[in-house]
């Protein structure tokens, strides 16, 4: 259902009966409507911040940060405050005291759609709100099985698919953070070596907010052989965001990013993909398109896109990587 200004609302009530309205679990706001929410908020970033946070092949701008991510960070800040107030009220009702636990936000979306940039921008912005100075970001890449294990299981061409992750370890990590465990550790993944980094970890020590970013973080629980369902990572999320775009556009962005990496990360002799650095433009387009069609495209269609409706907020992008629409779940 679209969100209207007051004049639109009065017109709607005049000409549309309650039974004729198209009810939806989401409120839809177009870019201008959403951007107006930022008018009373101060832009905390400068161009250096944008350059540092921008992902490869993306076009993050000060305008995008101000009109899209500033209102979103304020909304999340409000949700964090409300969550703490609810805990205080519950403690008072139960006549007991329980320590506040981190507020957990999930960020999902396709490869190359810009979810990592969204997560980094939100981390930086939330740190600047007074009630959330400590914000940690963990990506689910660290919970991929090491390459040796993927090869043993015949899954090297299934990286990013649900079966390529140590889901039990990821679930335990998020559950421990949400339970208030003083110190929780996560593995580290290197996009240079395309593998888990031995003996390196991310240490999370009871932050105000934890952002968990990854392809499949909104996946529902797996159904066991006996028909019962266990827990999913998203069961521990307080809020969830899905970064969305047409599949054809995301494929174009993936190919463009692959082209740029030839002279970037791929050029490093240590890179797992160093062999691609010498490809011609035509060969690079063909290679990237093949990888997309065999791996990333099917994973998006089969596993990632079906989780979009589980998000509490959906950011929809156009061809220029600009968010044009925001869908917010009402319930």
Which of 280, 329, 323 has the alpha carbon at shortest distance from 115?
Answer: 323
Considering only the C-alpha atoms of the chain, give the largest distance between any 2 of them, rounded to a whole number of Å: 69
Q: What is the pLDDT of residue 21?
A: 56
Q: What is the mean pLDDT of the chain?
A: 88
What dihedral do alpha carbons 272, 276, 278, 284 form, nearest 10°?
A: -160
Q: Span 152-178, mean pLDDT?
A: 96
Q: Any binding-site annotation on 116? A: yes
Convert the pLDDT of each residue in 111-123 to its tens digit: 999 999 999 999 9
Q: Is 297 known to sit in a ligand binding site?
A: no
* Strand-strand pairing, 195-204 and 323-329: unpaired
- Residue 317 annotated in ligand binding: no
Ligand-binding annotation for 110, yes or no, is: yes
Q: CA angle, 178 as apex, 173 and 182 as ends, to 5°?
A: 80
Q: Is 3.40.50.300 the CATH number for 24-221+230-329?
A: yes
Residue pointed to by tokens 């305008």: 63
Q: Is the pLDDT of residue 197 over 60?
A: yes
Q: How many CA atoms lie within 13 A of 232 on its CB side?
A: 18
Q: Residues 45-86: pLDDT tens digits?
A: 777 777 777 765 567 888 888 899 999 999 999 999 999 999
pLDDT value of residue 58: 64
Enumerate the domain spans of the chain. 24-221+230-329
* 240 annotated ligand-binding residue: no
Q: Is 6 annotated as a binding residue?
A: no
* Tens of pLDDT, residues 309-322: 999 999 999 999 99
Alpha-helical segments (H) within 16-100:
31-35, 47-53, 62-64, 70-94
User: Would you state the structure tokens that stand for residue 297, as one six-digit string?
Assistant: 């495209």
Has 114 been labeled as part of a binding site?
Answer: yes
Cα-flanking dihedrals φ and ψ of residue 99, to 5°? Answer: -65, 145
Averaged pLDDT for residues 121-143: 93
- Helix, strand, or coil (residue 223): strand
Give the pLDDT of residue 75. 93
DSSP 268: S
Between 200 and 22, residue with greater pLDDT: 200
Residue 111 annotated as binding?
A: yes
């Amino acid at each position: 259902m679209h969100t209207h200004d007051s004049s639109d609302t009065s017109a709607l009530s005049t000409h549309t009966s309650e039974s004729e309205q198209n009810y939806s679990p989401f409120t839809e706001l177009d870019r201008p409507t959403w951007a107006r929410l930022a008018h009373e908020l101060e832009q905390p970033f400068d161009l250096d911040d944008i350059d540092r946070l921008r992902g490869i092949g993306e076009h993050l701008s000060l305008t995008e940060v101000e009109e899209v991510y500033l209102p979103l960070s304020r909304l999340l800040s409000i949700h964090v405050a409300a969550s703490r107030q609810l805990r205080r009220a519950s403690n008072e009702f139960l006549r007991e005291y329980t320590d506040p636990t981190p507020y957990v936000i999930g960020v999902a979306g396709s490869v190359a759609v810009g979810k990592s940039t969204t997560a980094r921008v939100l981390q930086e912005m939330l740190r600047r709100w007074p009630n959330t100075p400590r914000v940690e970001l963990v990506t689910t890449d660290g919970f991929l099985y090491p390459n040796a294990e993927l090869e043993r299981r015949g899954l090297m061409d299934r990286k990013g698919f649900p079966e390529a992750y140590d889901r039990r370890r990821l679930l335990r990590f998020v559950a421990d953070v949400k339970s208030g465990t003083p110190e929780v550790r996560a593995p580290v993944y290197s996009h240079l070596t395309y593998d888990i980094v031995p003996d390196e970890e991310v240490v999370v020590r009871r932050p105000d907010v934890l952002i968990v970013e990854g392809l499949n973080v909104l996946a529902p629980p797996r159904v066991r052989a006996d028909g019962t369902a266990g827990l999913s990572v998203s069961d521990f999320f307080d809020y969830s965001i899905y970064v969305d775009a047409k599949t054809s556009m995301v494929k174009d962005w993936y190919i463009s990013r692959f082209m740029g990496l030839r002279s970037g990360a791929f050029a490093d002799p240590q890179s797992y993909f160093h062999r691609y650095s010498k490809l011609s433009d035509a060969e690079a387009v063909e290679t990237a398109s093949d990888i997309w069609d065999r791996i990333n495209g099917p994973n998006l269609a089969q596993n990632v896109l079906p989780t979009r409706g589980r998000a509490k907020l959906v950011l929809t992008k156009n061809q220029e990587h600009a968010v044009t629409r925001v869908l917010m779940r009402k319930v």
